[in-house]
Amino acid sequence: MRLLVSVIHEEEVAPAVAGGADIIDIKNPREGSLGAGFPHVIRAVRELTPPGVPVSAAIGDAPNLPGMMALAAAGAAACGVQYVKVGLLGPREPCDALLLLAAVCRAAREQDPAVRIMATAYADANKVGSLPPLDLPVVAAEAGVDGCMLDTASKNGATLLSLLGAAQLEEFVARCRGAGLLCALAGSLREDDVPRVHELDPDIMGVRTAACRGGRLDGRVDHDAVRRLKDRIESA
């Protein structure tokens, strides 16, 4: 299981990499769970991250506007990242999610054929009115996406593990595996959650708050926090 650490600016790259992060993810949490970072920040983070460490860029908690999100995906892919991550906040029906994801895939790969697309559903979908998490893998596979992620739309203290039960999480991972997709789990996960997440066997565990000193918005990624997470993963 690889550790993805979300950064909001280039100064956080060094402690994340030094702590052992396997993937550096760029997002702007002031604009939402998967808020999009600015292009100049994405380019700077990619430049400062060692070539062997993949970089991911979130392009937003997407409304049901395929054209707008396709343009965002093209912009992120043009910045040289290895992953483009889109949150399906607006599309509520599988047919709408399929159209949006297909548009994102086409636009991003026209910029860089090697870029990988990660589609994200929300564990609190029933509260925010978005696509149910278990519907995502089939839709993502049909759209040509490379992987699926679960996150939480609202950052109000609830976590992925408190919102979804073991059976639902196991089923999500199984559906990703069955569709040949990468599987990532995130959503206010803590260091103490590592053993349970490891048992679910996703490809990636994503964090920000757990890797920071001072919180997800105003805090900074901390080398020691990242190292503790990495050590827990390696010993799980």
The answer to whether residue 230 is catalytic is no
Chain CA centroid to CA 32, Å: 12
* Beta strands, E only, the chain: 2-7, 23-26, 55-61, 83-87, 116-122, 147-151, 182-185, 204-207, 212-213, 220-221
Give Cβ neighbours of residue 52 (< 8 Å, ≥ 6 apart). Answer: none
Looking at residue 34, the DSSP 8-state letter turns out to be T
DSSP bridge pairs for 58: 85
Q: Which value, to the nearest 10 degrees, does the dihedral of the CA atoms of residues 207, 53, 198, 115 take?
A: 90
**Which among 85, 127, 155, 230 is annotated as catalytic?**
85
**Which among 27, 127, 155, 230 is annotated as catalytic?**
27
Assign 3-class secondary structure to 162-176.
HHCCHHHHHHHHHHH
The answer to whether residue 85 is catalytic is yes
Residues designated as active site: 27, 85
